Structure 1
Amino acid sequence: MKKKIAYVAALALTVQLLGSCKNELDVNPQERVTLDNYYKTQADAFAALVSVYDRFGFQAGGLYDKIAIMDAACDDHLAGGGGPSDINDLQVMSTYTLNSNVGPESYLWSKGYSGIYRANVLLSKIDAIPMDAAIKSRYIAETKTLRAIFYFDLVRFFKNIPLITGTIDPSQMFDVVQAPPADVYTLIIKDLTDAIPVLPATVPAATEGGRITKGAAQALLGKVYLQQQKWPEAAAQFAIVNGTTPGQANSTYGYKLLPKYADLWNPLNKFNSESILEIVHSANSQGGWGDAGASEGNLLDIITGPRGYSQLNSTAPDYYSGYSFLVFTPEFASFIHNDPRNFPTVANLDSLQNIAKSAKYTPGYNNTGFFLNKFIAHVANKTSVGTNYDLNFPQDNYEIRLADTYLLEAEALMKAGQSGVGSRAYQLFNAVRARVGLNPVELNMDNLMKERRLELAGEGQRWLDLVRWGIAGQVLQKRGFITGRNEIFPIPQSELNNTKLQQNKEWGGTL
């Protein structure tokens, strides 16, 4: 049997495992690192683990990520940009004109399965590596949690997907078939329940910030149970993460809502007390335009900035001129206008230009004047390393944060019939409001949906919420969303060609 070849390449602070046919042709055989002779030391195992994390934070070469896709798809944003085909994957997502050949589904599929492949290889090799037993157990737990993250996204986005738990010989790769979604969820839950007892409760931010902790895996398990409408199970996991007293610090994990909402969006405020799991970015990777997606900088920071921006006086924000994507709709700007989270969330460029006269900008496509302030890059955070400033901003993205899990536990408890005044659900819900100075209100589904929309605006959660609540068709119909189809993505045609995979029936297939 031919040896399976993997190439190990260092890129800035991450290590990527590459395996394309082109690389096999281009690389000198004497320089190849085979799977059989690579996984020999603890350092090898750590490099492989980092490569799995690399896919967790992977951004498309087309300058977008999962958050950008989810934002473009929801009712609060328009794609924006420089024209109707600028970052076309976001444009077709925003207008629901995607199909199996055109759209962001190839990025989502590739990100998930390349991550799963790397995880499976490491899990298949690590038992034979001589290393500290406790460290080995932790690496396995982190890898299983990451595999669960990849599968959770894939099953939500595509429904009927292949379930691969080991390595596949190249001769068999075209014979893979899809598994029932229930089987995928069974593996996700098993991976997480295996990992949770082993993972550390906390990690030192200075040296291990961004690595998966026990609380991150429990929060993810809560989300998985919620997706399956297992309300008591979801609430139980979120309760461990959220702590005994809503609004007070979790005595085990240290999680606590930040006193100031705006501080969540300070690019230097990484791994803060509200962060449960975040995607780490760096200003030091020197990522370039030859492969923008390989940059370790946050691409959201540049694509969301206003085009042609300049300060006219020092009272204006020091925004770094960007590409004007993911602008807020006027309807959302009106919805959040009187909420304390308005300014940290929405940048009103028309007000700066026409009323305050402190700045100017160039309107882009779909311009509304309302920009995603949470992610707009600032000149003060421009990297001092290299020259590709656009691609190397350091702000991290939250995959899960505490306000999210507060509201999700409140939702699970409410669905289980526990939402009255003074209940834990009521306290969790109103702790999120109290953080921004809002008075308590009744916990009901309508108020919960409003609160999640306000609290998590622009963070990639809205579309997933709408689909999970079963109201996406109602809310997004005017955007072209078709109920019974657009709740999932089409499986990319490139994955269907010459394989046994079948397209979902929602997209004209038979599965």
Structure 2
Amino acid sequence: MLKMKKIIYSLILMVLLAGCTTLEEDVFSELSPTNFYTSAADADAAVIAIYNGLNRRPFHDTYFTSLTFMQAPHSATRAAFRRMYANYSFDASENRILGSYWAAAYDIINRANAAIDRIPSIEMDENEKASLVAEAKWLRAYNYFNLVRFFGDVPLLLKESTSLEDANPSRAPMDEVYAAIVADLKEGLDNLPPSRGNGEKMGRVAAGTAKFLLAKVYLTMAGEPLNDASHLQEAHTLLSDLYANRGEYGFGLLENYADIFDLENELNAEIVFAVQQSRIEGQGTAMAHMWGPLRSPFGGTGQYHGGCTQEFYESYDDTDERRDVTWLERYQLRGANQVVVFGERLPNGALGPYGETRNGMSPAKYQDPEQECCDGETDIIIYRFSDVMLMLAEIENELNGPGAAALGYLNEVRERANATVYDPQAATSQEEFRELIYKERFWEFSFEFHEIFDIRRMGKVQEAIETGFETQLFGTVYDPRYELYPIPLTEIQTNSNITQNPGW
């Protein structure tokens, strides 16, 4: 299995790169990055180590949900360290999430850079070599894509950092960062296999994954803050190919929305990319434990960090199957024959573990009943095939207006969810159709780390703040600085070449 193989290779790699010495004066063996990269197995292990960097830190989960979901207007939380991200009361000195994510992302990028720099010198099959380098470049591009959307201008490191001279880079303009992302992803179009099939490399990125992410990058560049629509047609071409040839790329739209998140159905055809997890200590996610309700029936005891508002839950069509797959409106208390309903008091009149609606309704997409605390098996889904349709619908609207083609892609996603399909007059202008897409992306991808990115690129930061549940309670007033996160203070204090984002 890939999961076990990934863990084993990563542990081997860490041991090898750390060197192996005894406490005696004589050194019996010593391996460094210089002499580690000698075989095809070494090259593969180096690439797997990049995946392992994603596995634990960004998606354990403290970082990513705070940085992406909490800014949604429908988010609610009872955790103070998350609430500051929901109401924008944090600043550059916040290090638990902001600084830690920055450090984690650049550690992953440096792992990718090491593989990209060193694999070419290994004597091995040239096609396999090119594929592994392209795989490392996809992972580097993915991390830079997140960084540039979070922070704007960021240091652009495309070589392995090996000395203190590499430790103080300045920030590169956003357009340069995006150009590097595009270049990395284009290499994957030619050098990665179309799909991974059901072999031992199942779940690792392929040409279809590269096409998907490149199209998403182009679409993002067309929105705020770059507003560069010159690549929209290229994005449309890439997505149309994925849509028409989904079988070749190993993708598809599952008939049942709930099946996407079934623990026994991981890496299904709808998954374009997911960060794989394991119950092995130190190799799993705490998502179900942190976000599950108190006395949760899944994922440990449940810390109940929050979820969505009642208003957002009720915004779904009554027939929309996504509603109760995404949010846990009721559940049976762990160890008790008692069903708890969100917002209702217990039979004895007590408020109970789920009675305070201010805390939000727990997300339900990540469930692992066998995990005890912080190492769950549930893969963290990053990109899904339904996004191909919603991106196509959005691009069709931008290029040709809200015609039958745009509406057809949107309705395909809604029909699968058993939601009411829109009639031809649902949107008569581009702006009206943009609103349909904006709402649909919340319903389809809630709690899958898209919220802040969609809000920002669609120019909705001020609207989300003015209508948001947490921001209204706190009295947050929109400020242009909220369009980007601050550069972590820890980075500014240690790197004299780093400047701060305006207003922070």
Same fold (TM over 0.5): yes
Correspondence 1:307 to 2:305: no
Instruction: Select the residue among 439, 447, 452 that pairs with 1:450.
Output: 439
- C-alpha contact 1:328 1:372 (8 A) present in aligned 2: yes
Out of 190, 211, 220, which is 1:218 matched to? 211
Q: How does 1:61-460 map to 2 (within 5 A)?
A: 63-81=61-79, 84=80, 88=81, 90-103=82-95, 104-229=97-222, 230=229, 231-243=232-244, 250-283=246-279, 285=280, 287=281, 295-309=282-296, 320-336=300-316, 338=318, 339-349=320-330, 352-353=339-340, 362-363=353-354, 367-368=358-359, 370-375=361-366, 377-379=367-369, 382=370, 389-421=372-404, 423=405, 425-441=406-422, 442=426, 444-460=433-449
Question: Structure 2 vs 1, CA of residues 240 and 446 (structure 1 numbering), >3 Å: closer, same or farther?
Answer: same
RMSD: 2.9
Q: 1:349 to 1:12 in 2, by over 3 A?
A: farther
CA distance in 1, matches of 2:69, 2:22: 39
- Residue 214 of structure 1 and its aligned partner are, at CA, apart by 0.8
Closer, same or farther in 2 for the Cα pair 1:170/1:378, shift >3 Å? closer
Residue 192 of structure 1 aligns to a residue whose secondary structure is helix
Structure 2: distance between partners of 1:256 and 1:470: 30
Change (3 A) 1:507 1:365: farther
Deviations 1:264-316 (A, max 9, x none): 12112111111111111122x1x1xxxxxxx2222211111111346xxxxxx
Deviations 1:144-189 (A, max 9, x none): 1111111111111111111111123423134421111111111111
Judge which range, 159-168 or 29-38, deviates more.
Answer: 29-38
- 1:35 aligned residue: 33
Greater CA drift, 440-449 or 107-116: 440-449
Task: Report if aligned partners of 1:299, 1:393 keep a CA contact under 8 Å in 2.
Answer: yes
Give the AA of the match of 1:132.
Answer: D
Alpha-carbon distance change, 135 to 178 in structure 1, aligned in 2, over 3 angstroms = same
Distance in 1, matches of 2:259 and 2:325, equals 9
Say which SS state the counterpart of residue 183 (structure 1) adopts. Answer: helix
- CA change 1:496–1:393 in 2 (3 A) is same
Do structure 1's residue 495 and structure 2's residue 491 form an aligned pair? yes
Q: Any idea what SS the aligned residue of 2:283 has? A: coil
* Structure 1 residues 404-451: Cα deviation after superposition (integer angstroms, max 9, x where no partner): 221012101211124312x2x222111101112234313511211121
The reply on whether 1:462 has 2:451 as its aligned counterpart is: yes
Q: What does the per-residue CA deviation read over 1:5-44, in whole Å, with 9 as the maximum and x for residues that have no partner?
A: xxxxx9556348669xxx89x9969465312221111111
Q: Aligned residues: percent identity? A: 23
SS of the aligned residue for 2:502 comes to helix
CA drift of 1:497 comes to: 1.5
Q: Output one character per residue of 1:362-386: Cα deviation in whole Å (capped at 9) or x when no partner.
A: 24987546211112x343xx05xxx
User: What CA distance in whole angstroms lies between the structure 1 residues aligned with 2:22 and 2:450?
Assistant: 42
Q: Distance in 2 between matches of 1:193 and 1:51?
A: 22
Which runs of 5 or more residues in structure 2 are unaligned?
A: 1-5, 223-228, 333-338, 428-432
Local SS of the residue matching 1:458:
coil
Q: State the secondary structure of the residue aligned to 2:134.
A: helix
Residue 262 (structure 1) shift: 1.0
Check the 8 A contact 2:317/2:419 in 1, yes or no: no
Moved more, 90-99 or 194-203: 90-99
Pick closer, same or farther for the CA change 1:303–1:217 going to 2, 3 Å: same
CA distance in 2, matches of 1:13, 1:174: 28
Question: How has the CA–CA distance of structure 1 residues 62 and 309 changed in structure 2, closer, same or farther, with 3 Å as cutoff?
Answer: closer
Aligned to 2:248, the other structure's residue is in SS state coil
Amino acid at match of 2:235: A
Q: Which residue does 1:292 correspond to in 2? A: none
Name the CA distance, whole Å, in 1 between partners of 2:249 and 2:58.
Answer: 33
Measured after TM superposition, the shift of residue 197 of structure 1 is: 1.1
Q: Which residue of 2 aligns with 1:386?
A: none
Which one has the bigger helix percentage? 2
Question: SS at 1:372's partner residue?
Answer: coil
**Relative to structure 1, is the Cα distance of residues 434 and 61 closer, same or farther in structure 2, using a 3 angstrom cutoff?**
closer
CA, structure 1 residues 222+63, in 2 after alignment: closer, same or farther (shift >3 Å)? closer
CA distance 1:13–1:347, change in 2 (3 Å): farther
Letter in 2 for 1:348: E
TM-score normalised by the chain length of structure 2: 0.83
